[in-house]
Structure 1
Amino acid sequence: MPPILRTLNPCYPRSGHRFLRNMSKAYFGPRLIFGKAHTDTNDVVAEANYVKDHDFDLMKGNTGIPITPAAQYLVQYRHPLESVQSFFEFQVHHKQLQDTREHWQMFLPKALEYWKGFVFKWCLDPNLPSSCRVHALSYGNLYTNPHKSVADVIDFLTAGREEIDTKKLDHAVEKFTGDFARYVDQEAKGTRPVSQLRDIRTFRYFDDTLPEIERSLVQEYLNPLGLDQKLVD
């Protein structure tokens, strides 16, 4: 079988990394060796061929992960308001933030700037070296068409040298679609309490500023990224 090429997976938090990784792992089995650059040791990361990194230095205003011209990158992103709402709830779930409007209002602008810097760097920057191999995947496409999304990722990870086993792919996708767990601790307990895609309007701190933010991002970000507006009446 063809090898899985060493691939860095820059993903904005809450953009479907675990969903994609679970399906990919179910397909590839032990051939896929996973590591997390932001938490694992250097030895673990060095051995991995599928390396997750949130590029968190961008959130601090730094340049983040160095881009290597000959490397390949599997990039994951999501609608900004879906991303930021989910990221906030993740931080609340792990007791890193309080579940208050005040904490949300402090978190929102920082997380949005991080999102803009992330998608510009990995998806929109015209100066991204053309010698890099980059495959970008939105959460919306992954959620609505997981078979094609995972097939494309298999093709990317093996540089087109793998004839896809459709039965194995079907099994991998069916295993992780339907109900799902938002957090690793839920998944570890075997609970999958969520069955529907996030609705931005049902967020407990939703207000009129969020449609304004979305409108401000349409031309420069949403349209070039192929992201639909969620708050159009």
Structure 2
Amino acid sequence: MSKVTIKGSVINASFPRSGHRFLKDHLVLILGSEYRYFDHYHDTDATGKNFAKTHDFELLGRNVLSQEFPNRRKYIVQVRHPLESIISYYEFKLHWNRIKVDTEQVFQRHLKKQLGKWKRFCDTWCLPPMDDRLIVTYQDLYTHPLKTLVEVCEFMGECRIDNDNFATAKVDFRRYYSDSEGQPRARSISDFRYFNEEKFELIEQEVLTDYLVPLGISPKIRKKYN
């Protein structure tokens, strides 16, 4: 495969626990030194960088990181089924001791708060028309990594790529950056200890028409919708 050159600056806006690190780990292997990563939660100098991570908690939208990356910007937005990402984010906070007590009541407060944030993230980044944006769902990245990575590289390089000549290395799907081994499969919502089919189905119905369908995200609760 001919080398992909990133054109301009890529702002990677990702709702927490939506597959950002999985995408990053692939791009490091595919692009090598062409991929110059900036994490504004840990890095201070954006000089020479061309790919920036943000969760955009402030919902600045297209203006996020505008001082660090003022010119020729394009946007890769990562999003996941809200129940999947919110449950994963809860586990993440427990893992890093950001939540001290693990009870169903604590989780329900987390769920309510994060569901509102998920909707606002989508209202800011996913639903408004943007001609310089590529939406990458966790579902597509996990299920069809080759196809999705080709689309990502074509978007960043403003080029066409022959899929037959596009080789990607196997990258472990890790839950946390500190994990020594990857996961054999994505976890199911129903495996979560506070899984409540009735409550979760209501949440899914709430976001189905306005969010999941436009984003091409499949329902996860095994019910038939009328």
TM-score category of the 2 structures, normalised to the smaller one: 0.7 to 0.9
Deviation at 1:70, TM superposition (A): 5.2
Give the 3-state SS of the residue equivalent to 2:167 in structure 1: helix
Aligned to 1:100: 103
* 1-structure distance, mates of 2:28, 2:42: 20
* Distance in 1, Cα, partners of 2:133 & 2:12: 10
CA offsets 1:110-134 (integer angstroms, 9 cap, x no match):
11111111111111024x5x4xx10
* Aligned with 1:217 (options 207, 211, 215): 207
The 5-angstrom pairing of residues 119-198 of structure 1 reads 119-126=122-129, 128=130, 130=131, 133-160=132-159, 163=161, 169-172=166-169, 175-177=170-172, 180-186=173-179, 190-192=180-182, 194-198=183-187
By how many angstroms is 1:202 displaced?
1.3
Q: Does 1:37 align with 2:32?
A: no
TM-score scaled by structure 2?
A: 0.86
Contiguous gaps of at least 5 residues in structure 1: none
Coordinate RMSD, CA, aligned: 2.1
Local SS of the residue matching 1:73: strand
Deviation, structure 1 residue 99: 2.1
Aligned partners of 1:55 and 1:65 also within 8 Å: no
Q: Which residue pairs with 1:202 in the alignment?
A: 191
Report the Cα offset of residue 17 of structure 1: 0.7
In the TM superposition, structure 1's runs of 4+ consecutive aligned residues that sit over 4 Å from their partners are: 67-70, 162-167
- In structure 2, distance between residues paired with 1:70 and 1:101: 46
Query: What do residues 182-207 of structure 1 show as CA deviations (whole Å, max 9, x unaligned)?
Result: 10111xxx322x21112111111111
TM-score by length of 1: 0.84
For residues 156-180 of structure 1, give each alpha carbon's deviation from its aligned partner in whole angstroms, at most 9, with x where no partner exists: 11111x655855x4342xx205xx3
CA deviation profile, 1:40-70 (whole Å, cap 9, x unmatched): 21x1x34311110011124xxxx46626795
SS in structure 2 at match of 1:198: coil
Are the structure 2 counterparts of residues 2 and 230 from structure 1 closer, same or farther at C-alpha, using a change threshold of 3 Å?
closer
- The separation in 1 between residues aligned to 2:103 and 2:43, in whole angstroms, is 32
Question: In structure 1, what residue type is equivalent to 2:171?
Answer: F
Structure with a larger share of its residues in helix: 1
Identity of aligned residues (%): 35
Q: Which amino acid aligns with 2:174?
A: A
Q: Are the equivalent residues in 1 in contact too, given 2:78–2:136 (CA < 8 A)?
A: yes
2:93 maps to amino acid: Q
Mapped partners of 1:65, 1:55: distance in 2 = 10
